[in-house]
Amino acid sequence: MSLGALEVNNLKYKQMKTKLISFAIVILLIVGIVWKLKANKSEIQEEAKLSQLTSTSIPVVAAKLSIHDINNQIIVPGKLEPFHQIDVVAEAEGKIVKVYKEKGDKVVKGELLVKIDDEVLSANLLTAEANFTKAEKDLVRFNSLASGNAITERQLEDAKLMYNNAKAKLITARKNLNNTNVEAPISGIINNDFVDQGQFLRRNSVVYDLVDINKFKLNVKVSEFDVLQLNSGQQIEITTDVYPGQIFTGTISSIAVSADQSLKYNVEVVMENSDTNPLRAGMYANVSFNKGEIRQGYLLDRNAIVNSVKNPSVFVIENGVAKLKSIKIGITIGDKVEVISGIDANTTVILSGQINLKEGTKVTVI
């Protein structure tokens, strides 16, 4: 065989070998894909079985509703608010010539806080006083002339009008001059100041934040079951974390006649500040309404409640499945709430695990 024929045969052999290798690779890929698809199918089927199994019965923590002694002492938290807190506003404008009080100072009602330049207003007052004096004399003279029919009625009316206008301008001038003295409208402590000597002050600018903490107000919320036990003028006890063991006395000043969105009623309490244990606005306090009796009632963990406090519900177990029951709640004691109606001592209540529950879901107590 010639050299050329050998080269042709070798080339054909190499081409055939390459095709066989490519074909084998394709076969292997197909086998691998088929195997992977089968494996995925089995995995999906196993997951579906597991999902079906877990959805069949959900593990939950549950317990029977139990009866406890309930102390009718109502303890609710509140925040101390100043009895009065006002912005002191300038009623005149001009350059500040003297600042008498600054942040942190105690002041009494009527005390001078700031003096505004009054040179022009003092001059205006002198003019107003002079014009009023003249108008007053003219009116006396015109009344005398009128009694002798020496002037017309129209001239007398004009004199009275001039007198009244002069009197009004005098009153305005005096008030404007007096407004250059910025005085404390109430007794209290300057919580913040917004003025400096030499500053030009605009009318209606806030110069001080004045706070009266000789007394405090506390606004607290109570339920519809408790609000009817309270009365305006009733004395109550108040405690704070800053003075452990110290009991302050307060008085109920007002009780709301309408509930808020959470079906709670606002009760405002007024208390005197203490000289020995002084309190500050913004501190938290606990208000105790002691009704002086102990009764029995059903208590339930707050975590068992689903939906809102306004429309509370719980999941209970009936024949191995979860049922949603609406309930009515009373007072709150720590992490527990009183159940007034909707369920009773024979009810098994789901305490945790509710996140995966819906009406009719099978459950297993763990």
pLDDT tens sequence across 186-239: 999 999 999 999 999 999 999 999 999 999 999 999 888 788 888 999 999 999
Can you give the pLDDT at residue 184?
97
| pLDDT (tens digit per residue) in 270-305 | 999 998 999 999 999 999 887 657 788 898 888 899
Fold of 58-72+295-365: 2.40.420
Task: Look up tokens 């009275």; give the residue.
Answer: 160
Can you give the pLDDT at residue 3?
46
Low-confidence ranges of the chain (pLDDT < 70): 1-18, 24, 26, 31-32, 34, 39-55, 72, 291-292, 309, 334
**Structure pTM?**
0.58
- For the chain, where do the domains classified as CATH 2.40.30.170 start and end? 74-82+211-293
Can you give the pLDDT at residue 26?
67
Can you give the pLDDT at residue 333?
73
| Domain range 74-82+211-293, its CATH number among 2.30.30.280, 1.10.10.10, 2.40.30.170, 2.40.30.10 | 2.40.30.170
Can you give the pLDDT at residue 34?
65
Side chain identity at residue 231, one-letter code: N
DSSP alpha helix (H) spans, 87-191: 119-147, 153-178
Query: Within 10 Å of residue 175's Cβ, how many Cβ atoms?
Result: 13
Can you give the pLDDT at residue 50?
45
| Domain range 87-201, its CATH number among 1.10.760.10, 1.10.287.470, 2.10.77.10, 3.40.50.2000 | 1.10.287.470
Contacts of 116 (CB under 8 A, 6+ apart): 90, 92, 93, 94, 95, 96, 97, 179, 180, 181, 182, 201
Can you give the pLDDT at residue 355?
83
Contacts of 24 (CB under 8 A, 6+ apart): none
- For the chain, where do the domains classified as CATH 1.10.287.470 start and end? 87-201
Can you give the pLDDT at residue 273?
95
Distances (CA, A) of 170 to 10, 80, 119, 122, 173: 129, 46, 16, 11, 5
